[in-house]
Amino acid sequence: MANVTAQLVKELRELTGSGMMDCKKALMAVEGDIDKAADWLRENGILKAQKKSSRIAAEGLVRTEFNEDHTEAAIVEVNSETDFVAKNEEFVTFVEKMAKQALTKVAATMDDFLALDLDGDGKTIKEELTEKVAKIGENMNIRRFDKMNEEGVKYVGYTHGGGRIGVIIGLKTEAAFDEIEQIGKDVAMQVASMAPKFVSAAEVAQDWLESEKKILKEALLNENPNKAAMADKIVEGQIKKELKEVCLTEQAFVKDSDKSVKQYVEEAAKALGKAVEIVSMKRYEVGEGLEKKEENFAEEVAAQMNK
């Protein structure tokens, strides 16, 4: 049997919001695996929410960058310890510079990215980051980046909350960027607000689908054992409903809930007279999945005064 520590219980509580004893019981049932424990809580009706919650807490900024004709795009997230630093002009400039680097340089991994020559003077991005940390006086971290450049695709971006959320949408079309810019922005705003997991039902990961079916079936049977004969049919109905929430094209369009996002794009394309198809998306939210250090400002001031 796995050693279920107090730290593991604490982490599961923060992840799911469930009670301490329930978290301990779940961890013991799955040999200490936190992800499986969260699923176990759902299966046993303890965790009702269909989405695992994760603490969105680390500060920083997301920035997007595009080439001139919007056939290439990049997105980057850089974290800081405090919101104060995230609004610092030097920090903002640094993040924007990192987005440009992600667009114009070739890097497959974060290590590759950090090793890039920043300005052609031999100084790497990692060295520049170290200097910024020393100057600003707060830890900073380039967390992630992506570059998008699929043939025949135009990219449109949207940034929300001053850089708390950044989205890039890829539209396959022969139309010029200025012709599809508003369509792309509308869809990107949809992604920012509704956070879909997949572009369309056709792109749903099979392992995710099978996992959801298993969780929903276990939850159903635990609550209603007498529905065993109908369980598969009921779960299929639940999955269809869930796909309308997690698939971008199937979601109700936020600007007109009478139509889906797919219908909106099809109607806009028809009015334009040129085919337009959503083929890709990237959505970054600052600090998603990261845990912020809990701080008590009053205690911090008192500690400073007592030095």
Residues 145, 117 contacting (CB under 8 angstroms): no
Question: With a threshold of 0.95, does the pTM exceed it?
Answer: no
Q: What is the pLDDT of residues 122-147, one digit of tens each?
A: 889 999 988 888 788 778 899 999 99
pLDDT > 90 in the chain, percent:
48
What are the distances in angstroms from CA 133 to CA 113, 128, 129, 137? 18, 9, 6, 6
Domains in the chain, CATH or no CATH each? 1-55 (1.10.8.10), 59-199+278-285 (3.30.479.20)
Residue 119, pLDDT score: 80
Residue 275, pLDDT score: 97
Tokens at residue 108, please? 């497959």
Q: What is the pLDDT of residues 8-32, one digit of tens each?
A: 888 888 777 677 778 888 888 888 8
Q: What is the pLDDT of residues 269-303, one digit of tens each?
A: 999 999 999 999 999 999 887 755 544 444 544 44
Residue where the block lists tokens 């520049």: 128
| Phi then psi dihedrals of residue 200, to 5 deg | -145, 170
Residue where the block lists tokens 């960027």: 177
Nearest CA among 300, 290, 277, 296 for reference residue 171: 277
Nearest CA among 239, 147, 141, 259 for reference residue 198: 239
CA pair distance 110, 224, nearest whole angstrom: 48
| Phi then psi dihedrals of residue 66, to 5 deg | -135, 150
Tokens at residue 175, please? 């139309």
Residues 83, 59 contacting (CB under 8 angstroms): yes
pLDDT average, residue stretch 151-161: 96
Strand 165-173 to 256-260 pairing: unpaired
* Cα dihedral across residues 288, 92, 160, 199: positive or negative: negative
Q: What is the DSSP letter of 250?
A: G
User: In 105-168, which ranges are continuous DSSP H helix?
Assistant: 110-114, 125-136
CA pair distance 106, 112, nearest whole angstrom: 8
Q: Tell me what the pLDDT averaged over the chain comes to.
A: 85
Q: What is the DSSP letter of 249?
A: G
Q: How many CB atoms neighbour CB 53 within 10 A?
A: 12
Residue 46, pLDDT score: 66
**Close Cβ partners of 30 (under 8 Å, ≥ 6 residues apart):** 36, 37, 40
CA pair distance 305, 296, nearest whole angstrom: 14
Tokens at residue 243, please? 């796909």
CA pair distance 161, 218, nearest whole angstrom: 39
CA pair distance 191, 165, nearest whole angstrom: 10
Contacts of 221-224 with CB under 8 Å at 24 or more apart are 222/43, 222/44, 222/45, 223/45
